Amino acid sequence: MQHDPTRKHLDYHDADRATVAMDVDYPDGSSTGWHAHPRAQLLHAIEGVMTIRSDQGTWVVPPSRALWLTAGMEHEVRMSGAVKIRTVFVDASAFPHLPGQSGVVSVSPLLRELIVAAAHIPVDYPNGGREERLMRLLIDEIREADLLPLHLPTPAEPRIGRICNCLLANPADGSTAAQWARQTGITARTLHRLFLRETGMTFAQWRDQARLLFALQRLARKDRIIDVAFDCGYASQSAFTAMFRRHFGRPPSAFYQ
């Protein structure tokens, strides 16, 4: 199922105010389709998990995170679980020191409440009043938010791209870098060099990140943790939980509570 919220988005693109916000809800499995916005966007879901694809790669964004998208970036958002999006459009030229590149940011309790409150403010809010002060505080909190490693880069090199597509289709595949190199017709040393050049990650780091993002999508659909662990290639639920806790500071059982 695919929604077409273009008409509602256009109202916000054309707003006189430099910062405006909106809300939109989507059912599990739906997609926004490929699109871009003339303004920068802080994309946050108070429920559900968003998977955002662009030419730069893939981000998976749970409710404890948000995605900062620079203006004009083509992207698609797919929903895991029922997703309640609260998004802020920002004319970045009006504010210095905002993030210069797209990326996942940590959402503090204050930033979350500001985003939720901003979505209830009309696009023509008065200058100098409470609404404008709230929006300016929201901008301050975006500046302070930490960029987080929830990005899965897309390699341009076709041999590495084929390996990555196979790992995305089957995260449990435990083939080593040397085994992939033999299948691809290159040396293991070349494979490692190409992974670093194309993605900024080692082969092992990229595969771990792919498994982590796959797990977030599955957990958002309320799948059993033990099933997610095995489908990610972990030998036990405890090994998967240890990996998850290292990245997020909490076990998967508590992540969406």
As a whole number of angstroms, the distance between CA 22 and CA 25 comes to: 10
C-alpha distances in angstroms, 227 versus 48, 49, 125, 167, 230?
Answer: 19, 18, 48, 18, 5
Burial 183-215 (b: 16+ CB within 10 A, else e): ebeeeeeebbebbeebbebebeebbbbbbbbbb
Stretch 65-72: mean pLDDT, rounded?
Answer: 93
Of the pLDDT bands very low, low, confident and very high (cuts 50, 70, 90), residue 9 is low
Stretch 41-66: mean pLDDT, rounded?
Answer: 90
Residue 237, pLDDT > 60, answer yes
Residue 148, pLDDT > 80, answer no
pTM of the shown model: 0.75
Nearest to 138 by CA among 51, 44, 24, 257: 44
- pLDDT, mean over the chain: 89
Stretch 100-125: mean pLDDT, rounded?
Answer: 93
C-alpha distances in angstroms, 159 versus 94, 172, 197?
Answer: 43, 20, 13
Residue 67, pLDDT > 90, answer yes
- pLDDT of 3 reads 43
Secondary structure element (H or E) that encloses residue 161, with its range: helix 158-169
- Looking at the DSSP assignment, which residues form a beta bridge with residue 54? 57
Q: Which fold has domain 6-148?
A: Jelly Rolls (2.60.120)
As a whole number of angstroms, the distance between CA 50 and CA 75 comes to: 12
Of the pLDDT bands very low, low, confident and very high (cuts 50, 70, 90), residue 96 is very high
Q: What is the pLDDT of residues 175-217, one digit of tens each?
A: 999 999 999 999 999 999 999 999 999 999 999 889 988 998 8
Residue 8, pLDDT > 90, answer no
Stretch 110-114: mean pLDDT, rounded?
Answer: 96
Of the pLDDT bands very low, low, confident and very high (cuts 50, 70, 90), residue 131 is very high
The CATH code that applies to domain 155-254 is: 1.10.10.60
Q: Is 112 helix (H, G, I), strand (E, B) or coil?
A: helix
Q: What is the pLDDT of residues 21-33, one digit of tens each?
A: 999 999 999 999 9
Of the pLDDT bands very low, low, confident and very high (cuts 50, 70, 90), residue 1 is very low
Sequence ranges of the domains in the chain = 6-148, 155-254
Least confident range of 20-24, 53-57, 114-118, 119-123: 53-57
As a whole number of angstroms, the distance between CA 225 and CA 217 comes to: 12
Stretch 81-108: mean pLDDT, rounded?
Answer: 92
Instruction: Please name the residues in contact with 162: beta carbons below 8 A apart, sequence gap of 6 or more.
Output: 184
As a whole number of angstroms, the distance between CA 68 and CA 48 comes to: 17
Stretch 143-154: mean pLDDT, rounded?
Answer: 82
Strand 76-90 to strand 103-106: parallel, antiparallel, or no bridges (unpaired)? unpaired
Query: In the chain, what's the furthest Cα-to-Cα distance?
Result: 65
Residue 146, pLDDT > 70, answer yes
Phi, then psi, of 130 in degrees rounded to 5: -60, -40
Of the pLDDT bands very low, low, confident and very high (cuts 50, 70, 90), residue 18 is very high
What type of residue is 189?
Answer: R
- pLDDT of 217 reads 83
